[in-house]
Amino acid sequence: MLEKLPILKKYLGERWLSTPVFGCVLIGGKSSRMGTAKHLLTKDGQTMLARTLECFEQVVGPNVVICGPGQIADSLARFERLADVADAQGPMSGVLAGMRWGPRASWLVAACDLPELVPAALEWLLSTRAPGIWASLPILGGSHYVEPLLAHYDFRSRPLIERLAARGNFRLRDIASHPKVRTFTVPPHLQLAWRNANTPRDLFV
Instruction: Return d(Cα 111, Cα 23) in angstroms, integer.
Output: 11
- Asked whether residue 96 is assigned to any structural domain, the reply reads no
Closest to 150 in 3D by CA, of 199, 116, 99, 102: 116
- Asked whether residue 135 is assigned to any structural domain, the reply reads yes
Beta bridge partners of residue 165, listed in sequence order: none
CATH code of 28's domain: 3.90.550.10
Q: Report helix, strand or coil for 71.
A: coil
Q: What pLDDT is recorded for position 15?
A: 65
Name residues whose C-beta falls within 8 Å of residue 98's C-beta, 6 or more positions apart in sequence.
Answer: 22, 24, 65, 67, 82, 105, 107, 109
Instruction: Return d(Cα 24, Cα 28) in angstroms, integer.
Output: 13
Q: What pLDDT is recorded for position 138?
A: 97
Range of the domain at 117: 20-76+102-204
For the chain, what is the domain count?
1
- Asked whether residue 196 is assigned to any structural domain, the reply reads yes
Q: Per-residue pLDDT for 10 more than 70?
A: no
Q: What pLDDT is recorded for position 66?
A: 97
- Asked whether residue 167 is assigned to any structural domain, the reply reads yes
At residue 8 the predicted structure's pLDDT band, cuts being 50, 70 and 90, is very low
Q: Per-residue pLDDT for 204 more than 70?
A: no
- Asked whether residue 8 is assigned to any structural domain, the reply reads no
User: Do residues 26 and 91 lie in contact, with contact meaning Cβ atoms separated by under 8 Å?
Assistant: yes
> pTM for this structure?
0.87
Q: What pLDDT is recorded for position 29?
A: 67
Instruction: Return d(Cα 158, Cα 45) in angstroms, integer.
Output: 36
Q: What pLDDT is recorded for position 54?
A: 96
- Asked whether residue 82 is assigned to any structural domain, the reply reads no
- Asked whether residue 108 is assigned to any structural domain, the reply reads yes
For residue 99, how many C-alpha atoms fall within 13 Å in the half-sphere facing its CB? 24
Q: What pLDDT is recorded for position 41?
A: 84
- Asked whether residue 52 is assigned to any structural domain, the reply reads yes
Cα dihedral sign for 157, 158, 163, 167? positive
- b/e map 139-169, b = 16+ CB within 10 Å: bbeeeeebbbbbbbbbbbbbebbbebbeeee
Who wins on pLDDT, 34 or 194?
Answer: 194
